[in-house]
A = this chain, B = another copy of it.
Amino acid sequence: MYKQEEVKKHGKDAERIWVTYKDGVYDVTDFIPMHPGGDKILLAAGAAVDPFWALYSQHKTEEVLEILEGYRIGRLDVKDVPKAEPDAFSNDPERHPALLVRNAKPFNAESPPSLLTDHFYTPNELFFVRNHLPVPDIKTEDHRLTVETLNGKTLDLSVDELKKKYKSYTIGSVIQCAGNRRADMNQYKKVQGLMWEGTAISNAEWTGVRLRDLLADAGIDIFDDKIKHVHFEGSDVDPTGTPYGASIPIEKARGNEVIVAYHMNGVDIPRDHGAPLRVIVPGNVGARQVKWLRKIIVSEKESDSHWQQKDYRAFSPAVNMGDELKWDTVPSIQEYPVQCAICTPSPNTKVDRDDGTVDISGYAWSGGGRGIIRIEISVDGGETWSSCEMEQEEKQDLEHMYAWTLFRTEVKIPPGVKEFNIIAKAVDRSYNTQPETASGIWNVRGLIHNAWHRIPIIVKD
């Protein structure tokens, strides 16, 4: 990787953009397409552009190398890369510099909004990261997954056995943090938690084996009345040795869609996303899609994990900061409600009145496989609306849509205003919609904020 330090050392013109490519350093300024508002350039300002360059497969050809050859300006020495001091997180993996870090240790970072809608399936290195603990460093060949029945009987599998023994399935499925858009809710009224903006969400194609096939092979009857929940335990542990854990209702495990995945977008799941195994629970909140999966247990009860019992439950707006939190009065979040957010332009973008229009892109998604049936935009506070062009996963129908919907549209700059809000909202297959503001959904932990998304725009006359 080409570090900021080296860019400085090379002492090159700060207005130019370089990439390292097959051990050379190239000036690619003239090859980088400008996004409206220059967002992509902005993200790389002061740091290397290499990771952005690498996202686009059309760059990875011999023809491009030939073109670049004429622009070569030097060679790198890896010895110059500085080393960090070790701590509990020092063995965490390298991350893409475009990720917007909300917390360094444990690592929590959003996908860059200006890049998110460029890809229907988010590139692994740009996929948002929500870690609760240091990232385990697991040798795939040493990893075991166990499946425990009500009687404690155990099925024990290596990753290789899991791959060979069961039929594999691939499914496009979103993962969204329950805290996505918390910062937005915090603007309405103060809440507690990591201040996620609007891109603690990403979409990937996952490949793995069906959970219900594993359960059946372990001798578990998923229609047994005594089984109400399926627990998942990760390999990530806190200083007391307690692992991350969560559970889902057995009903969900009976479906076709829940898989124990080993591939993310066609390659081994990266360390930050659960290598070597992660349970994918399409349509549910991220917190139940346990990474570094090492144990599956069926039970009459929900997981007693902290993250199932004392977190990821959204209280009533009647419960205020400082009130006692009666966790057992509120069900754990499983399916997500309908969500929608604008990714570009970014808030407070300045537009020229002479441009006439503003290009908009964003995403929408709903839990439980409820496909998005439309996305609407308003620039007059919700008085009038226009519909957007939508991009959806063709292999999924509206009743089983676990991948997201990307949208693009353009709106006319309203006449006679110096600033205005672009508002976006979606409707899902069950005709669920989003509330106008956080007024009715505000909760002390700032969870599942899905009010209309508003982007303020400044008009230059």
**Is the CB–CB distance between A437 and B436 below 8 Å?**
yes
Give A residues with C-beta under 8 Å from B.
249, 251, 314, 316-318, 330-331, 333-338, 367-368, 370, 373-374, 376, 382-387, 398-400, 425, 427, 429-437, 439-441, 448, 452
Interface of A is mostly: loop
- Chain B residues whose C-beta falls within 8 Å of the C-beta of A441 in the assembled complex: 427, 433
The listed residue (B318, B382, B398, B437) touching A331 by CB distance below 8 A is B398
Instruction: Given A335-B370, A336-B431, output 13 extra A-B contacts at Cβ < 8 Å.
Output: A314-B431, A318-B386, A330-B374, A331-B373, A331-B398, A334-B430, A335-B429, A338-B432, A368-B368, A382-B440, A427-B441, A432-B432, A435-B435
- Chain B residues whose C-beta falls within 8 Å of the C-beta of A387 in the assembled complex: 316, 318
- Known contacts A316-B374, A373-B330, A439-B383; decide if A430 and B368 are in contact (CB<8 Å): yes
- Known contacts A335-B430, A430-B336; decide if A440 and B318 are in contact (CB<8 Å): no
**Is the CB–CB distance between A316 and B251 below 8 Å?**
no
- Chain B residues whose C-beta falls within 8 Å of the C-beta of A429 in the assembled complex: 331, 334-335
**Is the CB–CB distance between B384 and A318 below 8 Å?**
yes
- Chain B residues whose C-beta falls within 8 Å of the C-beta of A435 in the assembled complex: 433-436
- Chain B residues whose C-beta falls within 8 Å of the C-beta of A448 in the assembled complex: 431
- Chain B residues whose C-beta falls within 8 Å of the C-beta of A431 in the assembled complex: 314, 333, 335-337, 448
- Chain B residues whose C-beta falls within 8 Å of the C-beta of A318 in the assembled complex: 376, 384-387
Measured CB to CB, the closest approach of chain B to A49, in angstroms, equals 40
- Chain B residues whose C-beta falls within 8 Å of the C-beta of A437 in the assembled complex: 436
**Is the CB–CB distance between B382 and A432 below 8 Å?**
no
For the complex, give the distance between the alpha carbons of A434 and B338 in Å: 11
Measured CB to CB, the closest approach of chain B to A323, in angstroms, equals 12
5 A-B pairs with least C-beta separation: A335-B430, A337-B432, A382-B439, A432-B432, A436-B436
